[in-house]
């Protein structure tokens, strides 16, 4: 086991600790199930609202 945390890991933790609010219906989820897709230095987070199936997307650059 290594204590090394990559920038990606830290970013992911920040996201997983945050609350997401659906921009379509206002549903709030404190345990957001972000789906993570990394492409090169860009990381895309997708949250599918369990209430209305709306999709929230965030994009981050490492």
Binding mask 1-30 for Zn ion (x = CB under 5 A): ---------------------x-xx-x---
Residue from 20, 32, 43, 49 touching Zn ion (CB under 5 A): that is: 49
β-partners of residue 60 are 43
CB under 5 A: which stretch of 2-10, 12-20, 33-41, 46-54 binds Zn ion?
Answer: 46-54
Contact present, 59 and 45 (Cβ < 8 Å): yes
CA dist 10 → 2, 4, 15, 31, 40 (Å): 14, 10, 9, 17, 17
- Site residues for Zn ion per CB under 5 A: 22, 24-25, 27, 49, 51-52, 54
């Amino acid at each position: 086991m290594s204590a090394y945390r990559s920038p990606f890991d830290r970013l992911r933790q920040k996201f997983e600790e945050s609350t997401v609010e659906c921009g379509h219906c206002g549903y709030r989820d404190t345990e957001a199930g972000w789906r993570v897709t990394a492409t090169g230095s860009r990381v895309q987070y997708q949250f599918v609202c369990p209430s209305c199936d709306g999709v929230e997307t965030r994009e981050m650059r490492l």
